Amino acid sequence: MATVVEQLPPGARVLVVRLRSLGDCVLTTPALALLKNHRPDLEIGVVVEDRFAQLFQGNPDVSAILPPSKRAVLGFHPALTLNYHGGSRSAALTGLSLAPQRAGFGHFRQQWVYNLHIPRAQEILGEERTVHTAEHLASAVFYLGVPITDIPRARLFCAAPARRPAYSVLHPMASAADKTWPAANFLKVARHLREAGLPPVIIGGPGDDLSAFAEFERLEGAPLEGVKSLLSGAELFVGNDSGPAHMAAAFGVPVVVLYGTSDPIIWAPWRTRSQVLSSPSGLAGVPVEQAIAAVERLRGVAQ
């Protein structure tokens, strides 16, 4: 029996509802690549909040980047809508797309919106274990008919970075206090990198306070396009478990990531050399010496 993907007519449009957040958007791109590789004729549109739209710009797997509005999704005329977000707003957009086929995971609310109910990733992959977010998202396209295969690295595209001596990138911020390693610790790592010949650029989003890092070059509140370009040329990334870590991994940059309450198995850097640090007592329990040792292990591999 033909799969959902096989039944789509030539040149059909597929709408992917992603909305947010930074890391989730980045880790959606392997699934898009798998779908496009299997059916190059499909036109894939991504519904995403404006603040994250630049993550999909330049991606050859994406034909259209759409705002989360009724007019946009209805005007796209998809044959299939795949909701990756799961909230009430994304469910409404899925229904408003009027796609004949509307897919969402079985644990989503508003199940009446969907006529394709995607089971657990473990059932699709045939392995009862904790799965990475990239595997979870890719399992949806496997269920819809893309042959199960290795899941590639995330895909981000940007202008080439400005030519400059070798550098590293540090992201000392996070969305919550329990995901944030102390700034004083990051400062010691930053000084170590400077002494090691990889002067760090400290990055932060709008409203982040980077005043503790005044002695270093800083990129504060820059558009995602600029952050992508900076990360793409870095020799090393060190940061909390947050979106920029996944962006760095998408460019194949070696990364050191510090985890607080998040499960590193689910949110580990995907398909890049990495060192994952955590402590049962919380992030404050990760000593600076351990982070510096992780940096040196990656530098040893890279050299």
Which pLDDT tens digit goes with each residue over 255-287? 999 998 889 999 999 999 999 999 888 899 999
- Same fold yes or no, 4-144 and 168-302: yes
Residue type, position 262, single letter: S
Helix (H, G, I), strand (E, B) or coil at 107: coil
Tokens 């981000």 identify what position? 156
Instruction: Give me the residue spans of the domains in the chain.
Output: 4-144, 168-302
Tell me: pLDDT of 301 over 70. Answer: no
Which pLDDT tens digit goes with each residue over 157-175? 999 998 999 999 999 998 8
CATH number of 168-302: 3.40.50.2000
Give the largest Cα separation in the chain, rounded. Answer: 63
* Cα 95 off chain centre by: 25
Distance of alpha carbon 58 from alpha carbon 157, whole angstroms: 6
CATH architecture of 4-144: 3-Layer(aba) Sandwich (3.40)
Burial of 40 (0-12, 13-18, 19+ CB in 10 A): exposed
Mutual orientation of helices 243-250 and 224-232 as an angle, nearest 10°?
50
Could you tell me the CA-to-CA distances from 18 to 29, 82, 220, 244 in Å, in that order? 11, 9, 26, 18
Asked whether the whole model's pTM tops 0.75, one would answer yes
Which pLDDT tens digit goes with each residue over 43-76? 999 999 999 999 999 999 999 999 999 999 999 9
- Residue 175 pLDDT: 84
Could you tell me the CA-to-CA distances from 21 to 17, 31, 103, 116, 192 in Å, in that order? 12, 16, 20, 24, 31
